[in-house]
Structure formats: structure tokens, C-alpha cells
Amino acid sequence: MAIVGTGTVLLKAVGPVLLGGRSLPPQLAGLVEMLAPALLAALVVTQAVAGDRNLVFDERLLGLLAAAVAIRLRAPLLAVVVIAAAITALARLL
Amino acid sequence: MSTAASIVMSATTFAGSAQFAAVSILGAGGSVAAACTAALLLNARYVPIGISVAPVIEGGVLRRLLAAQLVVDESWAMSRRPDGRHDAGLLLGAGTLLYVCWVCGTALGAFGGSALGDPESLGLDAAFPALFLALLVPQVRSQRAAYAAVTGALIAFLLIPVSAPGVPIMAASAACLFGWRRARVPPGRSWRSSERARSC
């Protein structure tokens, strides 16, 4: 686990230590700007349907659907997260 | 995993998904090497994430090295401003708060976690995709961002069954290339004006 700790520290440090404080050239900045939607969308998918090297479609999806409705209704961030957990828990109870 | 080991891991590997992946592999009887590989692959996303926050992390090398450790998915996503830059105060403030809560929470869980019951029965595993969805929606302001998001999601979805944990997220970052060539100088317009037009 020491390897993971050290490795994570180094991975996190690469960008800020090498580039720190400087802005990226505009062409690269345009690319990096698109990283956020791409990575966030991938995080949504992996957190919602990833199992142990397989796709798992379970009650999490109902929670995510409820979250989508809450976001659409402009609910605050905390409410969105709580609603998703509550709906998922409820679905598992039933 | 022992009580002390899990607290030390939270303090040094401040990245929940990598920790969950490593612990679940160990719990399922996987090797330490497999657990470490998965965790490091998952955390490889901090290279592109680090590059995107680099412009607002200032100071000497040591300060930048330490500040970089406070960057996690949540602090990174929350500190992103509409213009694409990051709010340094929010990035480091949220990061510090998350770090303290994370290490304390790990200690609490390690000592008295069994009293909580199964986190899945509380629906806590659905809180994470919901959080990331809530953070994603405001990022999708242009058609190009929508393409990047859909492509990233699709790449992750297709790779989940066939690759190690972490690979799908890492590979999805390639979706930022979407529309890059198109985004460069369209004939007769300067890069700057086309960028402004697109960001509207």
C-alpha cells in the first residue's frame, strides 16, 4: 500500500509541479477544458453501472434517475445526493 | 485490512475510488499486486486533472506538491468556474475540508463501522454517480462539451466489462480530443474569435 500512497502523491503532483502557476497555451487549454465533461461523464457511468469487471444494472440506476429529476428541478447539490441515496435505499427495501 | 492500515491509506492515498477498488480486490481474495495496480490505474486520471488545475496552483515547488495532494474529484469539479479556470480558494478549501473529514471518517468507520450497517442498504453507493451527474450538468454548456461527455461516457461503458478498474475512466479522458481539430482555425477566422464564439 506504500507503493499506492507514493504513486498517488506523484500522479497528483505531475501537473501542478511541472506547470504550476503558468497557463497552458490556448490550443492545449481548449483540450483540457473538455477533460472535465469527459471525465465526469465517465465517473457517472462507472459509479452507476460498474461491478467487478462487469456491468451491473441495479437500484443505483433508480437513484440516479431521481437525481436527474432533482437536478432538472434545480435542487441544491446536497439534496440531489441525498435523494439519490434515499430512492436507492427505498428500492432495495421493497 | 487492519484499522491502522486503513487510516494510513486514507491519509496517504487521498482518493476514495482507488481505495475502494483496492479494498474490494483484497476482500475478494485478489493479490496485493492486483490491488495496487488497480488503485494506481484509477489514480492515473490525476495526471490530466492535475494539468487542468495547474494554472491556479502557485508558489514554490514544495507548496505546489502539497497543494496538489488536496485535489480530488470532488474538489476539482466543485471549484471549476464557468470560464473553465478553477477557483484556487475553493479548490484548496474544499480539498482541505474533504481531507480532514475523509481521514476522520475512515478512523470512525474502522473503529465502529459495523454499527452503521451495510452502506448499500442506505443507498450510499448511489450518492456518488448522483454527485458526479450534478457536477457534470453545469459543465455541458457547449455542443462540443456535450459530445465530449457522451463520448467519455460511452468509452467508459464499453470498457468496464473488458478492462481493469480505472482503465475506463482513464481512457475516457481521450474524449476531450473530440472536436479538437474542428475547433482549431476554421478558414477565415482567427482561433481566438472562434474560441469565443464556441464558448458562448
Query: What confidence tens digit (pLDDT) does each residue in B13-64 have?
Result: 777 767 766 776 676 666 777 777 767 776 777 887 888 888 888 878 888 8
Phi, psi of B187, rounded to the nearest 5 degrees: -55, 135
**Distance (Å) from the alpha carbon of A74 to chain B's nearest alpha carbon:** 10
pTM for this model (two decimals): 0.70
B65-80 mean pLDDT: 82
In this structure, are residues B25 and B38 in contact, taking their beta carbons and an 8 Å threshold? yes
Lowest average pLDDT, out of A26-30, B93-97, B148-152, goes to: A26-30
User: What residues of chain B, 1 to 60, have a C-beta less than 8 Å from chain A?
Assistant: 5, 8-9, 12-15, 18, 22, 24, 28, 32, 35-36, 39-40, 43-55, 57-59
Instruction: Considering only the beta carbons, identify the residue of A49, A60, A82 that sits closest to B160.
Output: A49
The ipTM, to two decimals, is 0.85
Which residues, including other chains, have CB under 8 Å from residue B171's CB and lie 6 or more apart? B155, B156, B159, B163
Q: Is residue B170 over pLDDT 80?
A: no
Residue B190: pLDDT above 50? no
